[in-house]
């Protein structure tokens, strides 16, 4: 067997290892990007739950203001009922009072529903925040491992490049070109 042939085979295995290390170094950032995308998705869920809680709170406040307005109407109608002259006027005011009271009950029901939804949002928020915290730790750990692995691969790559250079010098230039 030709002596350069054995060296060419060694050079080919060195080139294969260099290619593998280059591929591994290139793949690590992509893997970290996928993990970070998943983390961003969980973070958006956290933000959505926070927005839902805030919207729910604003809705409850609006309903409480509506109740207050209806109570003021009832108070006004009761005062007016003292000054009425006819039975029809009195019945009309009592009808308005009843209507305002039914609006209050409906608003209170919606407030209760909003409170139930708020509890649900808060529970989901806590779960999502816990998941976010766990995934954040995983991402940081994964990034650290990726950095360490990349440093190790780059070190190995430099060693393999050195071996490659030495092997190329041992091979006859005409054979290497061929």
pLDDT digits (tens, 9 = 90+) for 108-150: 999 999 999 889 888 988 998 888 888 888 888 887 888 888 8
Inform me whether the pLDDT recorded for 1 exceeds 60: no
Q: Where are the domains of the chain?
A: 3-177
Per-residue tokens: 87: 């039975």
Q: Please determine, looking at this structure, whether the domain spanning 3-177 carries the CATH number 3.30.70.330.
A: no
Q: What is the pLDDT of residue 72?
A: 94
Instruction: Specify the long-range contacts of residues 13-22, CB closer than 8 Å, at least 24 apart.
Output: 14/160, 14/163, 14/164, 14/167, 15/164, 17/160, 18/157, 18/160, 18/161, 18/164, 21/153, 21/156, 21/157, 21/160, 22/157
- Which of 141, 142, 136 has its CA nearest to residue 29? 142
Burial class (CB in 10 A: 0-12, 13-18, 19+), 63: buried
Q: What is the pLDDT of residue 58?
A: 93
Inform me whether the pLDDT recorded for 29 exceeds 90: no
Q: Who contacts 168 (Cβ-Cβ below 8 Å, separation ≥6)?
A: 11, 176
- What percent of the chain clears pLDDT 90, i.e. is strictly above it? 26
- pTM of the predicted model as reported, rounded to 2 decimal places: 0.60
Q: List C-alpha distances in Å: 96 to 62, 83, 85.
A: 22, 16, 17
């Amino acid at each position: 067997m030709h002596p350069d042939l054995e060296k060419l085979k060694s050079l080919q295995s060195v080139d294969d290892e260099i290619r593998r290390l280059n591929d591994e170094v290139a793949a690590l950032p992509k893997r970290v990007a996928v993990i970070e995308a998943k983390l961003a998705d969980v973070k958006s869920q956290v933000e959505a739950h926070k927005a839902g809680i805030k919207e729910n709170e604003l809705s409850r406040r609006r309903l409480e203001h509506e109740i207050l307005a209806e109570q003021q109407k009832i108070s006004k109608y009761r005062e007016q009922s003292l000054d009425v002259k006819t039975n029809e006027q009195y019945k009309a005011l009592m009808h308005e009072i009843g209507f305002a009271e039914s609006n209050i009950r409906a608003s209170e029901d919606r407030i209760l529903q909003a409170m139930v939804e708020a509890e649900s949002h808060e529970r989901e928020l806590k779960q999502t925040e816990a998941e976010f915290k766990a995934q954040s730790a995983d991402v940081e750990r994964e990034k650290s491992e990726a950095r360490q692995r990349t440093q190790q691969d780059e070190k190995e790559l430099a060693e393999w490049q050195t071996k490659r250079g030495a092997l190329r010098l041992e091979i006859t230039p005409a054979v290497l070109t061929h």
